[in-house]
Structure 1
Amino acid sequence: MPGPANGGVARKIFLIATEESGDRLGAHLMKVLRQRLGGAVRFEGVGGLSMAREGLKSLFPIEELSIIGFSAVVKQLPKVLRLIRQTAAAVLRAGPDILIIIDSPDFTHRVARRVRARDATIPIIDYVSPSVWAWRSSRARAMRTYVDHVLALLPFEPEAYRRLHGPPCTYVGHPLIEQLGSLRPGPEDQGRRNGIPPVLVVLPGSRRSEIRHHMAIFGDALERLQAQGNAFELILPTMLHLLEGVREGVKTWKVAPQIVVGEQERRTAFRIASAALAKSGTVTLELALAGVPMVAAYRAGAVEAWFVQRAITVQSVILANLVVGENVVPEFIQDACTADNLAGALGEVLSDSPMRQRQLAAFARMDGIMSTGNHPPSVRAADIVLATLRKSRRAG
């Protein structure tokens, strides 16, 4: 195993991840970096359970930042600002060889700007690009002043950074491409996917606020879909912390779903699903890679919706559409998210319609579009972290 590049002195790497998905990315990256540096590395920072298992003692529990929605952020603003100041001060005290911020740009980028203003010698890598291609595109140019390299999860993002004059950006791959075996059907699953009645998976969201905004309208849409003569078996995957809200929400549904809990049960549902109704987000990419035609929807609170609708600069916010380069997945956002619209589109994706066939053909291209060759995303990310370390003014 190769030793560290600085003559045996342990590298100090500071990582910041404040959400569960970023925590998983950080943990995989830490594991590869430890292997590459022969164990001569020290990790400090902010993270969750996955990063803790790789040896990180978090500065504070990331649950303190589980704040969703504009109104919630306003109420918690003093606390958030205090944690930003606390985290930036911890980075500067540690004096790391490199700072890696992972997703959560409203928090991590504020920390990065403070660090860069006080110590310009600390290289900063941003793992997971903010959505500069969708809204607030001016962020890309601004990031040049405090980010040295962006590690992108989506293949179209490097070109977006070039177009927007942002910092260097490299596509390292999305973690989902390493999980295709758990998403795609085996022979028995395929038989159920092709069976009668078809399985329809409903995904109202992964946060409590999303559950509140989507459950009633999704229930009305499914009632209309059934009334139109469409037969289907309904499965609603969720997580344990959302179960109470989901159970409360389905009490008004005329079509009773089978509620399944946990990531394993969710993947099982994806493997047998014939179609899906999903809240827009990363789940649309997951469904596309699983080969499940879908209808996407999104509703937010009035204040949040007002800001988002004025900020969006792309024709689609559906990741599956952005990756394949065409709007194959119908999306119904805010006022367009009505029971009639959703039911009509679901009727098409459940039948052998041109819409369904167009989605399946587009999804079949995704493996090639998202390929990273023989190297998993965490290895490609580690390569860039180590290359940045070698070029750093702090190397020695």
Structure 2
Amino acid sequence: MAEPIRLFILAGEPSGDRIGADLVKRLRVQHRVTLTGVGGAELEGEGLKSLYPMSDLSVMGLTDVIKRLPLLLWRARQTSQAILALSPDMVVLIDSQVFSQTVAGQLRKAGYAGKIVLYVAPSVWAWKPERAPALKPLYDEVLAVLPFEPAVMRKLGGPVTSYVGHPALGHTTFRPSEPERGPILLLPGSRTGELRRHLPLMEQVARALRNHPRVTGFVLPTLKSVEEEVLRTVTTWKTPVFVTTGSEAKRKAFAESLVAAAVSGTVTLELALSGVPMAITYVGDRAQMKRWHKYKPRFVGLPNILHGNDLVAEFVAGTPQPEPFVDEIERLLDEEGAVERQRAGFARVRSGMEKGAPEAPLVDAADRVLANLPQRLASGT
């Protein structure tokens, strides 16, 4: 029997945790795999005993990073030292770009010559394109979840990059029709800073639209790790909101909802791949807005980036914009053809992601990890 692959895997937030668990499942179709590293409930379900709580790394925005900087630096050292001590067959770092780059940099500085794969490419096409060549000495390969990213990385002089698709393709289905009545989805983000900045806006959406004739209520899918924090806030609202956790509850909410009020992030791609109409918002902190004004990206929402047009209205600012945000959601509820236009664009996005780009067709993430293994393991002998 072939020896198992000794995989060190790191996920710093829930989306990365899901990506990591999916990768481990795919690898185990072909090989035995033993796990060390950092992750949450999904990777722990695959047998990982996390070195420390994944929540230590789940930060967004300069304010939150500064508050946790001593802890983050300590965790980076702890992670790199663990990898050096374990000498695994493969290191896979998932997203958490600054933290992952810090760990990879510490490893290379210490002379680590093992394979390091970054899963989820940094957004060099939107912010700081000069990052791309700096990544080349750190990572043996980058696994991109957006089909245009390999070409961008190659053009900018970054590491070898392959398009492996997005895990959301596997756990979403494009709903065949739109409900006449149903709830509105409230999606305020999953990190503490995002919740702090966006929950007040979601309350205003609920208050403004609670009497709409098509609206039967409001559903807020969230993570178990922040459920208590969300409930503590939502229970003070005058408008009742059903807070739910778990993947099955989330799928049900996606299937039944009329429209989503969504914070920019992975969830907007999940909505698009499911055919759920939406409006996108993001209330940035000072550093995020400074970066926004410097680079002036055309879009922030993944559906718009992938479609190439303003398919979904975006409301990005340093302070909440409740009135235009509510007006857009109401337009989706009332205007004939508005939802159909979004859904047609979403179907195109899904089709493109299922195929990949001509120069970077879809490949399996597990195959790319196996291709970077030492020969004795890659051959299964």
TM over 0.5: yes
Shift of 1:385: 1.2
User: For the residues of structure 2 that align with 1:335 and 1:51, how far apart are their CA atoms?
Assistant: 35
Task: Single out whichever of 247-256 and 80-89 deviates more from structure 2.
Answer: 247-256
Paired residue for 2:98? 106
Q: How does 1:204-283 map to 2 (within 5 A)?
A: 204-225=188-209, 231-239=214-222, 240-250=224-234, 255-283=239-267
Paired residue for 1:284? 268
Residue 266 to residue 32, structure 1, CA distance change in 2 (3 Å): closer
User: For the residues of structure 2 that align with 1:46 and 1:346, how far apart are their CA atoms?
Assistant: 38
Letter in 1 for 2:117: I
Which blocks of at least 5 consecutive residues in structure 1 are unaligned?
A: none
1:121 matched to 2:113? The reply is: yes
Which blocks of at least 5 consecutive residues in structure 2 are unaligned?
A: none
Paired residue for 1:194? 179
CA contact (8 A) 1:204 1:218 kept: yes
For residue 293 of structure 1, the aligned residue among 277, 294, 303 is: 277
Paired residue for 1:341? 324
SS of the counterpart of 2:82?
helix
Paired residue for 2:175? 184
For residue 158 of structure 1, the aligned residue among 150, 157, 179 is: 150
Residue 379 to residue 58, structure 1, CA distance change in 2 (3 Å): farther
SS of the counterpart of 1:165?
coil
C-alpha deviations, 1:319-350, integer Å up to 9, x for none? Answer: 11112222200000115742221122112211
1:70 matched to 2:62? The reply is: yes
Residue 378 to residue 42, structure 1, CA distance change in 2 (3 Å): farther
Task: Single out whichever of 159-168 and 259-268 deviates more from structure 2.
Answer: 259-268
Q: Which has the larger radius of gyration?
A: 1
User: For the residues of structure 1 that align with 2:168 and 2:5, how far apart are their CA atoms?
Assistant: 29
Residue 144 to residue 338, structure 1, CA distance change in 2 (3 Å): same
Residue 338 to residue 75, structure 1, CA distance change in 2 (3 Å): closer
SS of the counterpart of 1:125?
strand
Shift of 1:44: 2.8
User: For the residues of structure 2 that align with 1:279 and 1:50, how far apart are their CA atoms?
Assistant: 23
Calculate the TM-score normalised by the size of structure 2. Answer: 0.86
SS of the counterpart of 1:233?
strand
Paired residue for 2:352? 369
Calculate the TM-score normalised by the size of structure 1. Answer: 0.83
Paired residue for 1:167? 159
User: For the residues of structure 2 that align with 1:350 and 1:88, how far apart are their CA atoms?
Assistant: 50
Paired residue for 2:16? 22
Report percent identity of matched pairs: 37
Residue 144 to residue 264, structure 1, CA distance change in 2 (3 Å): same
CA contact (8 A) 2:59 2:193 kept: no
Letter in 2 for 1:130: P
User: For the residues of structure 1 that align with 2:11 and 2:206, how far apart are their CA atoms?
Assistant: 37
SS of the counterpart of 1:317?
coil
Shift of 1:257: 3.5
User: For the residues of structure 2 that align with 1:355 and 1:32, how far apart are their CA atoms?
Assistant: 39
Letter in 2 for 1:184: R
Tell me the number of residue pairs that the alignment of Structure 1 and Structure 2 aligns: 374
